[in-house]
């Protein structure tokens, strides 16, 4: 930890004293600077008596707007900037002398008009070129039933997707610019009267305080505003489903959307939420609860099965049931490696395949990777490098880790298996227990926006268990989670929801 | 955080070889151990180890050594083998009759001292030559597993009362209760349960033959099910009664004065086979009566034997102790041989089969 501090402090000393380059700029020097770029267009528009000087980036401005909505209205009668503002049928027109504003507007797609060569005052007409991918089906959080739209890279489209789902005036949107170079727009969603002010302010404060040059994705923000940045456990959920974001906003959470990122962030969150897929809410509560339990079991299985194998085979042969003894001994008979090396060999093989599969261009690559894994595994069993019992276990553990709905969490599960494995080799089941205590201690200390990460379990909140390991029917979900400390705790009237109305009543 | 990580790292470095590794395929996992007396009062220990062959068959590997005490024999055996013996998977301990008559405790000691040995393993007594008994391959597995499975299924659905290492030690240490163990014998390449061996403390004093096992189990266990008895009817006709369930209760009041003790056995069963043909209502009553007579007489006779041998496998003393204030074991042992034990048996036939 001290080493990390030393590293970062050393880095700070090396940076030069910052200075704002825009301070001593004039509008001419700014325009000259921009003229160096080939895509910066400047021409003199003269119709009749007046010369008008026009400037814009052709790569940022929609030329159709210029030709249809701007130039035809800038005719010879016009003598002042105010008249332009009055004539041009575009709602976002500004007259300013502020260099900083002019620079920002030009760089986000505005059309600039000056009345004379030397004038300081300019008019800025917004003619932004909006280019974004079509809203497509979610790929990471795919669900068989339910809505099939996912966020795209454009922040406006994403905001639109949320506004459509929550058409209420209370839906509040705070927008900030983050990144010295990238000037990335970051929008924070909350619902007034529901979202806890403290949570919202924490997010706003952390985002305002960010000191970074570029933000390329929402995951940057997620890493930077997490409570504990050194934890392998993600403390903020990212989702690509607008329906999920809308539903958690209604629960009282804070949503963060970043321009250029097709993933929104949700905070605060708890550990169990990482194991609930949004599809759980589309299914009947019994089926949904069953699959949730299977998912939780598979997580435990995925983390524990190889360490237990190593621990039992190295230290605790007494634990093996007598009918299993023969199978295990026969499969290990010809293997020259001790259980730990055998397990690490197979685990690494699977990790390699997963990593290679993720880098392959298509999703097919992943499937081929796993199939390849089984083939390599079978070959290594035949060559006598690993036992086939372990091969089955490792393959099942890999499969089980895929059931985690949030990708970041499944990466964490992949990682924390290894400390367990080493401890199992060192001290057997005792080592596994010690390692488990460390992980549990770490989880207990974790917070998400200052709210406890292990929430319905510790501190125990019986009420929040309604949507943790099992998902009770929707009519039981009438109260917002205690964890979020919402201003309005009631979602709807549970009595009315439970009433069954007959049709002829 | 930094400190705890440093401590952990330190522990890993310092303690990494403190735990003794016993990798599954680098040890010789004994499944059965037999004890008999060799000449000049030495102990002859026979260990059975399953040998898992590459073609997935299991062969029975047996090694014998004589020594003064058990662990010395193991140490001697280790010196002859490529991998060391471990005792964590022992399923059966077999003792010869001579040893049992001398007293079992010195030969059990090393096993209940060892935390890796389970308390659910089986102890047995045999009158066959132990090396020969353990040498022969009976099933497709090693003999430890074979004998253990044999005893286990005879406890579950046969006529062997519940018995294991824990029960043995419990009966041994309890006041007013004596242990018993299953008695096995090798008969022409077969291994067979031939009855129960009765102990007084840890010394063998008597036997229960196999045809009385049904009654013994009904007397021993508070609730039993799933075992069978052949009832001898008159004129060489036999009925085969399958017990569905039975329960046994003790009744006594102020035993030391009255010397009266009552055992009630309720048996519910059905007829699986009858060599006399059709069973009508009268016949069924007849069978019920005969069964009752047979069990009652066997039981009373058995308890007489127990009293003569001054052994108490049923744990009557233990039962009385748990219901009496200021129970005196000395006094009880004086009372026990003269105790007047009555057995009341109730038999109920629920079914006689579908033959019309």
State residue A131's pLDDT score.
78
Q: Are residues B127 and B227 in the same domain?
A: no
Is A183 contained in some domain?
yes
Is A87 contained in some domain?
yes
Is A488 contained in some domain?
no
Is A3 contained in some domain?
no
Tell me which of B186, B209, B232 is where a domain ends: B209
- Residue B192 burial class via C-beta count within 10 angstroms: exposed 0-12, middle 13-18, buried 19 and up: middle
State residue A17's pLDDT score.
47
Instruction: Quickly list DSSP for A357-420.
Output: HHHSSSHHHHHHHHHHHHHHHHHHHHTTSS-HHHHHHHHHHHHHHTT-SSHHHHHHHHHHHHHH
pLDDT tens per residue, chain A (505 residues)? 566 566 665 555 544 444 455 556 788 888 888 888 888 888 888 766 677 888 899 888 888 888 888 888 877 677 788 888 888 888 888 888 888 888 888 888 888 888 887 788 888 888 888 877 889 998 888 888 889 999 999 999 999 999 999 999 999 999 999 999 998 999 999 999 999 999 999 999 999 999 999 999 999 999 999 999 999 999 999 999 999 999 999 999 999 999 999 999 998 999 999 998 898 999 999 999 999 999 999 999 999 999 999 999 999 999 998 888 888 988 888 888 899 999 998 898 888 888 877 777 766 676 666 677 778 777 888 888 888 889 889 889 988 988 888 989 989 998 999 999 999 998 899 999 999 999 999 999 999 999 999 989 988 999 999 998 999 998 888 899 998 999 988 888 888 877 776 666 5
What does each C-alpha distance from A180 to A18, A80, A128, A184, A263 come to in angstroms?
12, 35, 21, 9, 22
Q: Are residues B202 and B140 in the same domain?
A: yes
Q: Are residues B71 and B151 in the same domain?
A: yes
- Substitution target in B3, B15, B19 with the highest count of A β-carbons within 10 Å is B19
Q: At B138, give phi and psi (nearest 5°).
A: -85, -50
Please tell me the total count of domains within chain A: 3
Whether the pLDDT of residue B184 is over 70: the answer is: yes
User: Residues A339, A313: contact at Cβ < 8 Å?
Assistant: yes
Q: Are residues B281 and B133 in the same domain?
A: no
Is A233 contained in some domain?
yes
Is A460 contained in some domain?
no
Q: Are residues A305 and A396 in the same domain?
A: yes
Is A298 contained in some domain?
yes
Of residues B16, B23, B88, nearest to A339 (C-beta): B23
Helix, strand, or coil here: B249?
strand
Interface touch A334/B56, C-beta < 8 Å = no
Q: Are residues A252 and A357 in the same domain?
A: no
Tell me which of B154, B180, B209 is where a domain ends: B209
Q: Are residues A372 and A442 in the same domain?
A: yes
Angle (deg, nearest 10), helices A363-382 and A339-359 = 160
The token duo for A495 is 């009595």
- The CATH number for B251's domain is 3.30.300.210
In 3D space, the residue among B39, B31, B227, B224 whose CA is nearest the CA of residue B137 turns out to be B31
Q: Are residues B205 and B229 in the same domain?
A: no
Own/partner long-range contacts of A354-357 (Cβ < 8 Å, ≥24 apart): A354/A398, A354/A414
Is B204 contained in some domain?
yes
Q: Are residues B257 and B289 in the same domain?
A: yes
Q: Are residues A52 and A116 in the same domain?
A: yes
Helix, strand, or coil here: A275?
helix
Burial B60-88 (b: 16+ CB within 10 A, else e): bbbbbbbbeebeebbeebeeeeeeebbbb
Is B7 contained in some domain?
no
Q: Are residues B112 and B243 in the same domain?
A: no
Burial B307-332 (b: 16+ CB within 10 A, else e): bebebbbbbbbbbbbeeeeebeeeeb
Taking the C-alpha atoms of residue A66 and residue A378, their distance in angstroms, rounded to an integer, is 65
Angle (deg, nearest 10), helices A407-427 and A285-314 = 30
Of residues A318, A328, A339, nearest to B116 (C-beta): A318
Q: Are residues A259 and A290 in the same domain?
A: no
Q: Are residues B162 and B227 in the same domain?
A: no
Q: Which residue has the tokens 């990682």?
A: A415
Q: Are residues A307 and A440 in the same domain?
A: yes
Cβ contacts of A398 within 8 Å, gap of 6 or more: A302, A350, A354, A370, A373
Q: Are residues B88 and B161 in the same domain?
A: yes
User: Residues A251, A446: contact at Cβ < 8 Å?
Assistant: no
Q: Are residues B234 and B193 in the same domain?
A: no
Angle in degrees, CA A467, A471, A475, rounded to 5 = 90
The alpha carbon of residue B29 is apart from the nearest alpha carbon of chain A, in Å, by 9
Strands of A50-57's sheet in order across: A40-47, A50-57, A110-114, A122-126, A93-96
Q: Are residues A109 and A168 in the same domain?
A: no
Respond yes or no on whether the N-terminal peptide bond of residue A106 is cis (omega within 30° of 0): no
Q: Are residues B171 and B98 in the same domain?
A: yes
Of residues B2, B88, B141, nearest to A318 (C-beta): B88
Q: What's CA B352's distance to the chain center, in Å?
A: 32
ipTM value: 0.84
Q: Are residues B239 and B266 in the same domain?
A: yes
State residue A498's pLDDT score.
78
Q: Are residues A317 and A426 in the same domain?
A: yes
Task: Quote the DSSP letter at residue B15.
Answer: H
User: Residues A410, A391: contact at Cβ < 8 Å?
Assistant: no
Q: Are residues A363 and A339 in the same domain?
A: yes
Is B346 contained in some domain?
yes
Question: What residue numbers bound the domain in which A185 lies?
Answer: 155-269
- Share in percent of chain A as helix, strand, coil (round to 5): 50, 15, 35
Question: What residue numbers bound the domain in which B251 lies?
Answer: 222-356
Chain B residues bordering chain A (beta-carbon distance below 8 Å): 1-2, 8, 12, 15-16, 19, 21-25, 27, 29, 31, 50, 52-54, 56, 58, 86, 88-89, 91, 116, 118, 141, 145, 148
Q: Are residues A248 and A120 in the same domain?
A: no
Please tell me the total count of domains within chain B: 2
Q: Are residues A435 and A289 in the same domain?
A: yes
Respond yes or no on whether the N-terminal peptide bond of residue A459 is cis (omega within 30° of 0): yes
Is B185 contained in some domain?
yes
Q: Are residues A302 and A426 in the same domain?
A: yes
Whether the pLDDT of residue B17 is over 70: the answer is: no
Half-sphere exposure of A234 (CA within 13 A, CB side): 24
State residue A20's pLDDT score.
53
Is B2 contained in some domain?
no
Phi-psi region for residue A178, left (φ > 0), alpha (ψ -120 to 50) or beta?
beta
User: Residues B76, B65: contact at Cβ < 8 Å?
Assistant: yes
Is A335 contained in some domain?
yes
In 3D space, the residue among A83, A6, A29 whose CA is nearest the CA of residue A52 turns out to be A83
Is B229 contained in some domain?
yes
CB-CB neighbors (< 8 A) of B91 in chain A: 322
């Amino acid at each position: 930890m001290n080493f990390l501090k030393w590293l970062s402090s050393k880095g700070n000393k090396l940076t030069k004293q910052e200075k704002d380059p825009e301070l001593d700029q004039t509008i001419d020097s700014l325009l000259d600077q921009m003229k160096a770029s080939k895509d910066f267009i400047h021409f003199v528009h003269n119709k009749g008596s007046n010369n008008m000087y026009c400037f814009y980036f052709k790569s940022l401005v929609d030329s159709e707007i210029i030709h249809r909505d701007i130039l035809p209205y800038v005719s010879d009668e016009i003598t002042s900037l105010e008249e332009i503002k009055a004539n041009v049928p575009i709602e976002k027109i500004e007259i300013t002398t502020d260099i900083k504003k002019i620079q920002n507007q030009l760089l986000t797609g505005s059309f600039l008009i000056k009345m004379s060569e030397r004038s300081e005052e300019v008019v800025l007409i917004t003619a932004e070129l909006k280019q974004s991918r079509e809203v497509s089906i979610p790929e990471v959080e795919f669900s068989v039933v339910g809505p099939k739209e996912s966020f795209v890279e454009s922040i406006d489209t994403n905001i639109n997707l949320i506004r459509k789902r929550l058409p209420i005036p209370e839906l509040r949107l705070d927008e900030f610019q983050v990144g010295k170079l990238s000037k990335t727009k970051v929008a924070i969603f909350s619902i007034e009267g529901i979202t806890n002010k403290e949570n919202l302010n924490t997010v706003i404060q952390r985002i305002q305080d960010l000191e970074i040059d570029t933000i390329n994705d929402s995951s940057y923000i997620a890493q930077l505003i997490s409570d504990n940045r050194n934890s392998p456990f993600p403390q903020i959920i990212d989702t690509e489903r607008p329906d999920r974001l809308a539903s958690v906003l209604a629960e009282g959470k804070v949503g963060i959307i970043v321009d250029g990122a097709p993933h929104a962030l949700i905070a605060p969150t708890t550990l169990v939420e990482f194991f609930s897929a949004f599809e759980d809410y589309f299914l009947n509560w019994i089926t949904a609860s069953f699959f949730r339990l299977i998912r939780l079991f598979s997580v435990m299985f995925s983390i524990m099965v190889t360490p237990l194998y190593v621990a039992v085979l190295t230290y605790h042969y007494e634990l093996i049931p007598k009918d299993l003894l023969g199978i295990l001994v026969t499969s290990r008979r010809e293997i020259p490696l001790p259980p730990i090396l055998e397990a690490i060999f197979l685990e690494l093989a699977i990790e390699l395949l997963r990593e290679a599969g993720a880098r392959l261009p298509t999703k097919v690559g992943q499937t081929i990777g796993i199939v390849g894994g089984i083939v390599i595994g079978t070959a290594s069993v035949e060559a006598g490098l690993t036992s086939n019992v372990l091969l089955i276990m490792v393959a099942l553990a890999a499969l089980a880790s895929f059931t985690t709905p949030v990708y970041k969490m499944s990466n964490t599960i992949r990682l924390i298996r290894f400390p367990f494995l080493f401890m199992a080799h060192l001290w057997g089941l005792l080592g596994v227990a010690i390692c488990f205590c460390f992980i549990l201690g770490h989880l207990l200390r974790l917070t998400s926006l200052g709210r406890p990460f292990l929430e319905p379990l510790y501190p125990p909140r019986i009420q929040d268990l309604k949507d943790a390991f099992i998902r009770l029917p929707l009519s039981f979900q009438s109260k917002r989670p205690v964890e979020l400390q919402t201003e309005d705790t009631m979602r709807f009237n549970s009595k009315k929801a439970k009433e069954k109305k007959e049709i002829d009543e | 955080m930094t400190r705890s990580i440093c401590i952990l790292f330190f522990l890993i470095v310092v303690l990494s070889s403190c735990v003794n590794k016993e990798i599954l395929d680098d040890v010789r996992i004994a499944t059965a151990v037999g004890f008999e007396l060799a000449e000049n009062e030495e102990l002859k220990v026979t260990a059975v180890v399953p040998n898992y062959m590459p073609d997935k068959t299991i062969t029975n590997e047996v090694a014998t050594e004589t020594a003064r005490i058990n662990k010395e024999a193991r140490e001697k055996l280790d010196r002859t083998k490529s991998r060391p013996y471990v005792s964590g998977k022992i399923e059966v301990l077999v003792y010869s009759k001579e040893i049992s008559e001398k007293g079992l405790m010195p030969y059990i000691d090393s096993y209940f001292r060892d935390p890796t040995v389970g308390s659910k393993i089986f102890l047995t007594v045999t009158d066959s030559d132990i090396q020969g008994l353990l040498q022969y391959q009976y099933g497709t597995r090693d003999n430890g597993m074979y004998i253990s499975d044999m005893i286990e299924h005879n406890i579950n659905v046969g006529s062997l009362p519940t018995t294991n290492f824990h029960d043995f030690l419990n009966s041994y240490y309890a006041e007013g209760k004596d242990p018993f163990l299953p008695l096995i014998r090798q008969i022409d390449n077969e291994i067979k349960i031939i009855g129960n061996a009765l102990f007084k403390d840890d010394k063998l004093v008597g036997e229960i033959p196999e045809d009385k096992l049904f009654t013994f189990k009904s007397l021993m266990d508070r609730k039993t099910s799933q075992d069978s008895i052949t009832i001898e009817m008159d004129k060489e006709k036999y009925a085969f009664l399958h017990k569905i369930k039975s329960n046994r209760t003790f009744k006594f009041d102020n035993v030391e004065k009255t010397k009266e003790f009552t055992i009630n056995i309720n048996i519910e069963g059905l007829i699986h086979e009858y060599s006399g043909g059709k069973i009508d209502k009268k016949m069924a009553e007849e069978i019920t009566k005969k069964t009752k007579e047979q069990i009652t007489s066997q039981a009373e006779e058995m308890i007489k034997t127990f009293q003569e041998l001054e052994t108490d496998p049923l744990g009557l003393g233990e039962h009385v102790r748990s219901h009496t204030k200021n129970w005196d074991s000395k006094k009880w042992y004086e009372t026990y041989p003269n105790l007047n034990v009555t057995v009341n048996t109730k038999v109920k036939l629920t079914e006689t089969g579908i033959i019309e």
